[in-house]
Structure 1
Amino acid sequence: MNLTGAIEHVFRKYLPSPFTIAVLLTLLTILLALLFTESTSDQNHWVAILRYWESGVWNNGLLVFAYQMMLILVLGHVLVLSRPMEQLILRLTSYVTNPSNAAVWVALPTMLVSFFNWGLGLIFGAILARKVGEHAQKNGVPINYPLIGACGYVGLMVWHGGISGSAPIKVSEAGHLQSLMENISNSQVLSNLPNTVSTSQTVFSNWNLIIFMIVIVTISLIALRLGRTTKPTNLDLPVYSFLGISDKKPKGAERLDYAKWLSIAFGVLILIAFAFQYAPLLRTLNITPNMLNFFMLGLALILHGNFQSFLHAVQSAIGDTAGILIQFPLYFGIMGIMAGTGMINGISNFFVSISNGVTLPIFTFISAGLVNIFVPSGGGQWAVQGPLVIESALRLNVPLPKAIMALAYGDQITNMLQPFWALPLLGITKLKAKEILPYTIIFMMAGSCIYVFGLLIFA
């Protein structure tokens, strides 16, 4: 426990807010570019770097990417605040009868839900953990509540290898790789890049599904064991209220806001359009960000049953997107500097010099885990580190799906160490980071072993 206390102390004392880190990383990148790169044009090098930075900040394609990631988070959160999801959480909670199955009934569903959507899994796991705590308190089940909270967070160690994973879902878009590498690789390399790396080659590949199954079984067994052996904690939790809306009777045109038939009809219309538009991609298991968001929008409208409830949930969820809204452009600016000055090629040369086709995915996994501590966003990390991974993989003939998933695995695993995305869970469960860290670190160590061996054996 002293180790976890030390980790929390380091994070609190030496790591400022994610936005401040993004600013510091921007300044560091500018400094490194000034010191270690040379101007490729007649203009002043300092001015050129600032131009690269500004063009990266407002890169149209990457700004679309940021908005897609915001919608994935918001719509996932909106879904979990619907009445059917509330009933599902309460049903799962009713199965808790002892400390062991309490931990499993939180960890396993959270990981399965997070594989579908990380925003949904993040809030689903938090509310499920809180409701299990309340159920245990009411029925005298002796649980270790910090362990239950940690189990509600384990979805963040599988999300990036799932359907809403930033890297695999973005490279499935036609033309994204060429756009990402346009100012980095030469024309010959660009012409050989695939137009798309389908999620059938990444998320839905046999080897990724095998790794995922091993992870969820292993983590569930560890949760079962910890639930049985850890000391119960005292509980004093008031009842957590799910999102509700006013019971006032609507008048006039306001009735349309509460009309169940209109919300469901519009949601069904969206799903019909979804089926016609994306049927070819669905048949090949190629999931794109727009496809996922369109489906979740229609589903959310149906599950909420009226526009008022839906919009109330959106208002509640929108605050979680603040980090993406303001931090992503800074990361895009960093990528603009690295691409424009040639820094990406220099870093890629380093990785190529110390790696081979076997070890590059492992180095990618480790480096992605380290980067995630400072860039706690899969989408932001893909914008900064993605071009490095692609360039190195191309030069060492490492299959792109394997390199992309190595980055995804590394990014997601250190979420168990980085408390940034745990903030919503900590707020809902009323736990502290130092209370869940002893258990999330255990989950992280087990998951790291599985991902490394998976990249060596299955991928």
Structure 2
Amino acid sequence: MNVTQTIENIFKRFLPSPFAIAVILTILTMLLAFFLTEAPSNNESHFLTILSYWENGVWNNALLVFGYQMMLILVLGHILVLSKPMNRLITKLTNLVSNTSNAVLLVCISTMLVSFFNWGLGLIFGAIMARKVAEAAQARNFKINYPLIGAAGYVGLMVWHGGISGSAPLKVSEAGHLSSLMTGVGNPHLASKLPELITFQDTVFSSYNLVLFGILLLVIPLVLYFVGKSTKSDFVTLPVYQEETIENPKNLKGAEKINHSKLIGIGFGILIMITLFYQYFDAIKSLAISPNLLNFFMLGLGLILHGTFSNFLKALGEAISDASGILIQFPLYFGIMGIMRDSGMIVLISDFFASIATTTTLPIFTFFSAGVVNIFVPSGGGQWAVQGPIVVESALKLGVPLPKMIMALAYGDQITNMLQPFWALPLLAITRLKAREILPYTLLMMLAAMVIYISGLLIW
């Protein structure tokens, strides 16, 4: 029995559903906070206080706003992929495959490139690419390792935080964000040395980050290629995934014509794009990309590509259904984050690494601590909100460049997505695969990427 089969059998036996994992992690976090943190000094019950931290996190207004932004990034990215032009492109690409090995190369490389631009778009693009490969294999009657191809469609979540839609690079590119983040936290003298903002030129588009991404773009597909050569393939049986179809309804009357008018649909999309470039021109020019900018862009582009409100809303219905699991689990992870933040657990984790670190090793410890925290809080923006102050404070104390520390957190956060199935929910819904089927292969990708990221942080 090979290694991947052994891992798959372990996951089949012990891994519950993603929602159950969120509940288990919630209870585990409560227990850890109870035993590892100090009870409040006002004689209130320690456990009831922890429950209060949890409830405050579940309904944290700032995190709910962030959650809505992230849901829009996911849903709008999905809507783009469901458009006719994107589906024609995906179909042409998948017609090139004839076996597992060349299928994983195609799915992995294209998904990583798309995810570097936008994580939501990349996640859905990779899922539909994997599904289309399976449909092509079914139609042309050749065998594939479908779980491996599904894992290749999930690889974008291992590079997203170092890309254009990465939460930490996006937030620090906002003027005044670092100062507001550090208000009332740590040494005021150190905080006064903070820059107004850190642009993408120092983070996402820096030479070191682009080189690391280029290496990943070469190594990870090759790893999956050779795994595909050595693992068992089989025939798949799936219903054909139904994408949007452009309607040409006849005899429409009155207001019905608005929903099916290409002039109005595309015209409104163009209006959004004009507003985007007028409102965000300076931000685009300085590479200060924000979640609102990305969402506005994808909203306008989605309307243009779909052509009519009718087609756009049909795709919206499909996208919303696949995002439902994330919608209900987000508050649970916000609650976990509330416990970790208010009880001091996250400070314990990060301070432990900082206390044993040097200038050279601090980014490595930040990488690992971010990976650990991401298992409990699989939200890049939420993780930055609670771990960011510790990262910034320790960087200022030891004199480590802030862009390097920000990217170390980003790399660590994204790497353990390959173990945490939270963000795989839309992919699993589209591909009809189970988390335990893809995780043995995502684990291999994670180990290969860890070597690359750690080497990059040491050499940089």
TM-score band by shorter chain is 0.7 to 0.9
Kindly indicate whether the alpha-carbon contact (under 8 Å) linking 1:22 and 1:375 is maintained by their aligned counterparts in 2: no
Aligned with residue 274 of structure 1, among 273, 276, 279: 276
Kindly indicate whether the alpha-carbon contact (under 8 Å) linking 1:268 and 1:298 is maintained by their aligned counterparts in 2: yes
Match of 2:23 in 1: 20
1:168 aligns with 2:172: no
Displacement, 1:255?
A: 0.9
Provide closer, same or farther for how the CA distance between residues 85 and 404 of structure 1 changes in structure 2, counting only shifts above 3 A.
same
Aligned with residue 355 of structure 1, among 354, 357, 361: 357
Displacement, 1:64?
A: 3.1
Larger displacement relative to structure 2 (396-405 or 345-354): 345-354
Provide closer, same or farther for how the CA distance between residues 98 and 88 of structure 1 changes in structure 2, counting only shifts above 3 A.
same
Task: Return the letter of the residue paired with 1:312.
Answer: K
Displacement, 1:178?
A: 2.6
Partners in 1 of 2:55 and 2:425 — Cα distance? 31
Provide closer, same or farther for how the CA distance between residues 153 and 327 of structure 1 changes in structure 2, counting only shifts above 3 A.
closer
Displacement, 1:93?
A: 0.9
Provide closer, same or farther for how the CA distance between residues 425 and 61 of structure 1 changes in structure 2, counting only shifts above 3 A.
closer
Match of 1:145 in 2: 146
Match of 1:456 in 2: 458
Match of 2:8 in 1: 4
Partners in 2 of 1:409 and 1:438 — Cα distance? 20
Kindly indicate whether the alpha-carbon contact (under 8 Å) linking 2:63 and 2:382 is maintained by their aligned counterparts in 1: no
Match of 1:416 in 2: 418
Summarize the alignment of residues 56-455 of structure 1 with structure 2, pairs less than 5 Å apart.
60-244=61-245, 248-249=249-250, 250-322=252-324, 325=327, 328=330, 348-455=350-457
Taking structure 2 as the reference length, the TM-score comes to 0.88
Task: Return the letter of the residue paired with 2:429.
Answer: G
Partners in 1 of 2:192 and 2:304 — Cα distance? 44
Partners in 1 of 2:60 and 2:137 — Cα distance? 50
Query: Which whole-Å deviations, capped at 9, do the CAs of 1:213-257 have from their partners, x for residues lacking one?
Result: 100111122233233333321222332211347765432112111
Query: Which whole-Å deviations, capped at 9, do the CAs of 1:80-102 have from their partners, x for residues lacking one?
Result: 11111111110111222344322
Kindly indicate whether the alpha-carbon contact (under 8 Å) linking 1:115 and 1:162 is maintained by their aligned counterparts in 2: yes
Match of 1:31 in 2: 34
Partners in 2 of 1:124 and 1:307 — Cα distance? 22
Partners in 2 of 1:140 and 1:324 — Cα distance? 34
Task: Return the letter of the residue paired with 1:84.
Answer: P
Kindly indicate whether the alpha-carbon contact (under 8 Å) linking 1:364 and 1:407 is maintained by their aligned counterparts in 2: yes
Gaps of 5+ in 1: none
Provide closer, same or farther for how the CA distance between residues 137 and 345 of structure 1 changes in structure 2, counting only shifts above 3 A.
closer
Provide closer, same or farther for how the CA distance between residues 286 and 101 of structure 1 changes in structure 2, counting only shifts above 3 A.
same
Partners in 2 of 1:230 and 1:338 — Cα distance? 41
Partners in 2 of 1:333 and 1:140 — Cα distance? 47
Partners in 1 of 2:158 and 2:81 — Cα distance? 19
Task: Return the letter of the residue paired with 1:243.
Answer: E
Displacement, 1:409?
A: 1.2
Backbone CA RMSD of aligned residues: 3.0
Partners in 2 of 1:150 and 1:349 — Cα distance? 34
Provide closer, same or farther for how the CA distance between residues 63 and 189 of structure 1 changes in structure 2, counting only shifts above 3 A.
farther
Query: Which whole-Å deviations, capped at 9, do the CAs of 1:96-154 have from their partners, x for residues lacking one?
Result: 23443222111111111111111111111111111112212322434322222221111
Larger displacement relative to structure 2 (429-438 or 327-336): 327-336
Q: Report the count of equivalent residues.
A: 454
Kindly indicate whether the alpha-carbon contact (under 8 Å) linking 1:183 and 1:339 is maintained by their aligned counterparts in 2: no
Partners in 1 of 2:340 and 2:182 — Cα distance? 12
Q: Tell me the percent identity.
A: 60
Displacement, 1:452?
A: 0.9
Task: Return the letter of the residue paired with 2:417.
Answer: N
Kindly indicate whether the alpha-carbon contact (under 8 Å) linking 2:323 and 2:425 is maintained by their aligned counterparts in 1: no
Provide closer, same or farther for how the CA distance between residues 208 and 296 of structure 1 changes in structure 2, counting only shifts above 3 A.
same
Partners in 2 of 1:334 and 1:182 — Cα distance? 23
Kindly indicate whether the alpha-carbon contact (under 8 Å) linking 2:364 and 2:454 is maintained by their aligned counterparts in 1: yes
Task: Return the letter of the residue paired with 2:365.
Answer: F
Larger displacement relative to structure 2 (106-115 or 43-52): 43-52
Report the secondary structure of 1:143's partner residue: coil
Task: Return the letter of the residue paired with 1:452.
Answer: I
Kindly indicate whether the alpha-carbon contact (under 8 Å) linking 1:22 and 1:330 is maintained by their aligned counterparts in 2: no
Task: Return the letter of the residue paired with 2:15.
Answer: F
Query: Which whole-Å deviations, capped at 9, do the CAs of 1:304-359 have from their partners, x for residues lacking one?
Result: 11112212222322345556655555655666666667666555543322111111
Larger displacement relative to structure 2 (110-119 or 387-396): 387-396
Partners in 2 of 1:309 and 1:166 — Cα distance? 30
Kindly indicate whether the alpha-carbon contact (under 8 Å) linking 2:334 and 2:377 is maintained by their aligned counterparts in 1: no
Query: Which whole-Å deviations, capped at 9, do the CAs of 1:46-89 have from their partners, x for residues lacking one?
Result: 79888877766665544432222221111111111111111111
Gaps of 5+ in 2: none
